[in-house]
Structure 1
Amino acid sequence: MTDPTAPLIPLSLAHLPTVGGLVVPWITPRTGNGRHLFGAVDGNRKDHALLGRLCGVCGRRLDERLVLLLRLSDLPRRCTAEPALDPICLAYTAAACPMLGGRLDHYRTTPQALDPTMAPPADSSARRGAPAEPWFTVWLRSYKVIADHGTIAASYAGSTPMRIRPLTWGPLFSA
């Protein structure tokens, strides 16, 4: 059933599958029984997107403006293992994703049921049940691919972002 509160899907995302009225991002893994694992990342597609400068949501080549989504804890390191997004996909994702949209105050408490060929993110056990962190958008023209904690990541270290803006920093995150 489609959720009547789901955001409108941009035409540029019409090529992607939907579940419950929401677009399934290009990097979202799919289990052997066909279930999409929202909130998880397909490692091969993630790496392909980072190396090929592809949007993590639509899978298309990024243009001259791209956006990295970073948690507060990622900002000092100036990098993220998540692929960049184009501005249209950023706007849709911020509206559709409850974590990025600030509608969840904690990470999920139970691990996702992954297929044997899938691996959870390295920090998934540390996040399980933890309070959600504020998210920031880092607007760039480019990024470098680096090694970070045993995986590749997009880094803007050594360059000046066009802007950094809080995406979620409101009542849920006040002390």
Structure 2
Amino acid sequence: MPIRPGPPETAPPIPVALAHLPTIGGLVVPWVTPRTADGRYLLGAVDAAKTRTAIHRRLCGVCGSCLTDRLVLLLRESDLPRYASTEPGVHPHCAAYTTAACPMVAGRRSHYRASAHQIGEDAVHGADLDQRLGAPAEPWHAVWLARYTVITLHGHPAASYLLIPPLRIRPIGAAPQRSS
């Protein structure tokens, strides 16, 4: 008997604080997402300049506005031992939206994409892209912080909490789905 695909994913409601951002298929495009010369957004990649600016100036990677006294770093399980993220922190409400909207963070995808985006010089892939392409997805965690320090990790600025006790670390959603 053939397996039928489940119902299409429905986009979560867009919070008012994110209504100014562009959308694709009903999903907010994060502020750090790069755009191609022909205007397409590359979800899953990050704009290098915006990411550097966000980390150094404490801007939210989703909405682009200033982070306040509470922020969240969204980390893959393998990133936890580094106590750092090369992606910017986000507001708690932006983290909540991301965990509902992003299929990777939410654990709704069993594997990372098999091929990398074709990106221009303004965008970057994660330092471990080669290990992730087509690999099984990892669980994600929300690391709640009052602040972070900026370090360099794999040649990129990173938000680090190595010397800053996290307010809490919570697993996000269910473990990634594994195909049988």
Is 1:139 paired with 2:166? no
| SS class of match (1:152) | strand
RMSD: 1.6
Q: Extract unaligned runs of 5+ from structure 2.
A: 1-7
1:128, CA displacement in angstroms? 0.2
Normalised TM-score (structure 2) = 0.90
Change in Cα spacing, 1:4 to 1:129, as seen in structure 2 (3 Å) is closer
Q: How does 1:88-167 map to 2 (within 5 A)?
A: 88-167=93-172
| SS class of match (1:172) | coil
Query: Is the Cα contact below 8 Å between 1:51 and 1:145 reproduced in 2?
Result: yes
Query: Is the Cα contact below 8 Å between 1:135 and 1:169 reproduced in 2?
Result: no
| SS class of match (1:159) | coil
1:171, CA displacement in angstroms? 6.3
1:120, CA displacement in angstroms? 2.8
Change in Cα spacing, 1:31 to 1:107, as seen in structure 2 (3 Å) is same
Distance between the aligned counterparts of 2:176 and 2:78, measured in 1? 19
Match of 1:86 in 2: 91
1:4, CA displacement in angstroms? 7.5
Normalised TM-score (structure 1) = 0.93
Which among 27, 33, 47 is matched to residue 32 of structure 2? 27
**More deviation in 69-78 or 21-30?**
69-78
Query: Is the Cα contact below 8 Å between 1:57 and 1:85 reproduced in 2?
Result: yes
| SS class of match (1:100) | helix
Change in Cα spacing, 1:39 to 1:12, as seen in structure 2 (3 Å) is same
Between the two proteins, the alignment pairs up a number of residues equal to 171
Q: Which amino acid in structure 1 is aligned with residue 127 of structure 2?
A: A
1:117, CA displacement in angstroms? 4.7
Match of 1:43 in 2: 48
Distance between the aligned counterparts of 1:72 and 1:146, measured in 2? 20
Note the alpha carbon deviations across 1:62-116, whole angstroms, 9 max, x for none. 0110000111111111011010010110111111100001100100001112235
| SS class of match (1:122) | coil
Which among 68, 71, 74 is matched to residue 66 of structure 1? 71
1:159, CA displacement in angstroms? 1.4
Runs of 4+ in 1 over 4 A off after TM superposition: none
**More deviation in 123-132 or 23-32?**
123-132
Change in Cα spacing, 1:159 to 1:8, as seen in structure 2 (3 Å) is same
1:170, CA displacement in angstroms? 2.7
Identity %: 56
Q: Extract unaligned runs of 5+ from structure 1.
A: none
| SS class of match (1:146) | strand
Q: Which amino acid in structure 2 is aligned with residue 60 of structure 1?
A: S
Q: Which amino acid in structure 2 is aligned with residue 162 of structure 1?
A: L
